[in-house]
């Protein structure tokens, strides 16, 4: 087979769209911390020195202090929240959830119709595609060296992009890397040169992060801030909006994405919970040795608990025909919204951490918050691999 190329991108937590995602998920977490049965679906818009948080909400407690959450997220990311503190700078429009939608969800049904995809492959230990794994690692490293002070002139906004060369369907070499990083105009009392920015980012971000087996400093093309100076960034430079980075959130374009964004939605919205469950099933299929690539497809009707579609595509890599794999997945996994929320622990404040650096390929863990154990990234567990192997006769 001739070599082929595949490119994926990621962005830092300071990218304006990702700031919006984090604010929306901070709202979701604040609501669920007060009322695990609450529902919320909201979007955030940031532009210059103004913000708007709008959507639907249904909870038994007091609504969250949204301006305070905006301030908290901006501070944690590394921006000055004072830009949004002036009277009239922010608007909150959270209306009550529609009674018609609530009636369907109250009975255990899906909060919306739609199709969801989960994807896994054996290209990386986390079972996500190599290009998006590398792009996320670069974006995370940008934030890491900024926050640690290792690179004192870095600022929060940034993007990464990695182009992999494939042979025989396997990633073999990183062909091109793009890193765009917001920076101060001066450092230690002198202007920063583009050559200095390039050399330090390659030494501190690119070379320590990318896998040596695939990255060759002599052969890989590396672009650093290819447009030149990048001083003005974040929401002050470009509007941010919830849900505009869904390919960054998922599989970098290699696996398909369904009809809706994730951030800002509680788990009764199957746009989010169904996509998480589909990833859980796909990852367990690959972990069980049932396929080296697997895409799990789900679809729902609003107000109905059971999916109207469960299907597996193994892209010709399956140990069994796709129909058999689909039957095994349907036997092992309960894809009703209530079961997904129960099995993956999605009824609590577990979403803010998903809003930057991808929802998939992360490390599942348990944390204690206010005396409550919360499972983070539970859909990344491979705890059903043995059950799938048994169901499939592997």
The residues that bridge with 51 in the sheet, in sequence order, are 46, 90
Res 100: pLDDT: 67
**C-alpha–C-alpha distance, residues 356 and 367, integer Å:** 18
| pLDDT at residue 22 greater than cutoff 80 | yes
Which residue do the tokens 């396929």 mark?
A: 291
| pLDDT at residue 370 greater than cutoff 90 | no
Distance set, CA 298 to CA 5, 273, 303, 336, 338 (Å): 29, 11, 15, 11, 15
Average pLDDT of span 201-223 = 96
Res 355: pLDDT: 97
| pLDDT at residue 230 greater than cutoff 70 | yes
**C-alpha–C-alpha distance, residues 265 and 114, integer Å:** 14
Average pLDDT of span 164-172 = 95
The residues assigned a catalytic role are: 15, 17-18, 43, 56, 159, 230, 238-239, 244-245, 265, 269, 271
Beta pairing, strands 170-183 & 154-167 = antiparallel
pLDDT digits (tens, 9 = 90+) for 65-100: 999 999 999 999 999 888 777 777 889 998 887 676
pLDDT digits (tens, 9 = 90+) for 251-292: 999 999 987 899 999 999 999 999 999 999 999 999 999 999
Res 298: pLDDT: 97
| pLDDT at residue 2 greater than cutoff 70 | no
Phi, psi angles (nearest 5°) of residue 183? -145, 160
| pLDDT at residue 164 greater than cutoff 90 | yes
Question: Taking Cα atoms as reference points, which of 29, 27, 25 lies closest to residue 17?
Answer: 25
Res 97: pLDDT: 74
| pLDDT at residue 323 greater than cutoff 80 | yes
**C-alpha–C-alpha distance, residues 262 and 8, integer Å:** 19
Whole-prediction pTM value?
0.95
| pLDDT at residue 113 greater than cutoff 90 | no
| pLDDT band at residue 383 using 50, 70 and 90 as cut-offs | very high
**C-alpha–C-alpha distance, residues 302 and 317, integer Å:** 33
Average pLDDT of span 3-9 = 95
**C-alpha–C-alpha distance, residues 214 and 6, integer Å:** 14
Burial of 160 (0-12, 13-18, 19+ CB in 10 A): buried
Per the prediction, the chain carries an average pLDDT of 94
| pLDDT band at residue 188 using 50, 70 and 90 as cut-offs | confident
How crowded is the C-beta side of 75, counted as CA atoms within 13 Å?
Answer: 9
Res 63: pLDDT: 86
């Amino acid at each position: 087979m001739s070599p082929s190329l595949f490119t994926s991108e990621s962005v830092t937590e300071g990218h304006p769209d990702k700031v919006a995602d984090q604010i929306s998920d901070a709202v979701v977490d604040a609501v669920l911390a007060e009322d695990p049965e609450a529902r919320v679906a909201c979007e955030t818009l940031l532009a210059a020195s103004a913000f708007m948080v709008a959507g639907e909400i249904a909870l038994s407690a007091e609504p969250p202090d949204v301006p305070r959450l905006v301030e908290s997220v901006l501070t944690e990311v590394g921006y000055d929240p004072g830009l949004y503190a002036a009277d009239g700078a922010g608007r909150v429009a959270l209306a009550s959830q529609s009674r018609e939608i609530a009636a369907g969800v109250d009975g255990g049904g899906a909060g919306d119709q739609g199709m969801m995809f989960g994807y896994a492959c054996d290209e990386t230990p986390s079972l996500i595609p190599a290009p998006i794994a590398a792009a996320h690692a670069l974006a995370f490293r940008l934030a890491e060296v900024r926050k640690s002070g290792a690179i004192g002139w870095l600022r929060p906004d940034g993007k990464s992009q990695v182009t992999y060369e494939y042979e025989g369907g396997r990633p073999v070499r990183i062909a091109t890397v793009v890193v765009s990083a917001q920076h101060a105009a001066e450092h230690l009392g002198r202007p920063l040169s583009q050559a200095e920015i390039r050399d330090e980012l390659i030494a501190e971000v690119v070379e320590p992060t990318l896998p040596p087996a695939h990255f060759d400093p002599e052969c890989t093309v590396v672009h650093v801030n290819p447009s030149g100076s990048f001083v003005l960034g974040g929401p002050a430079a470009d509007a941010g909006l919830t849900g505009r980075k869904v390919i960054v959130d998922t599989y970098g374009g290699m696996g398909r994405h369904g009809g809706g964004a994730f951030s800002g939605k509680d788990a009764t919205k199957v746009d989010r919970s169904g996509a998480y469950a589909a990833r859980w099933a796909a990852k367990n299929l690959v972990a069980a040795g049932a396929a080296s690539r697997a895409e799990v497809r789900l679809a729902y009707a609003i107000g109905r608990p059971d999916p109207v579609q469960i299907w597996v595509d193994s892209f010709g890599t399956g140990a069994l025909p796709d129909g058999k794999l689909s039957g095994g997945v349907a036997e092992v996994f309960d894809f009703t919204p209530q079961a997904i929320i129960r099995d993956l622990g999605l009824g609590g404040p577990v979403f803010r951490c998903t809003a930057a650096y991808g929802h998939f390929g992360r490390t599942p863990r348990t944390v204690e918050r206010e005396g409550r154990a919360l499972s983070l990234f539970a859909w990344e567990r491979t705890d059903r691999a043995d059950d799938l192997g048994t169901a499939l006769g592997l």
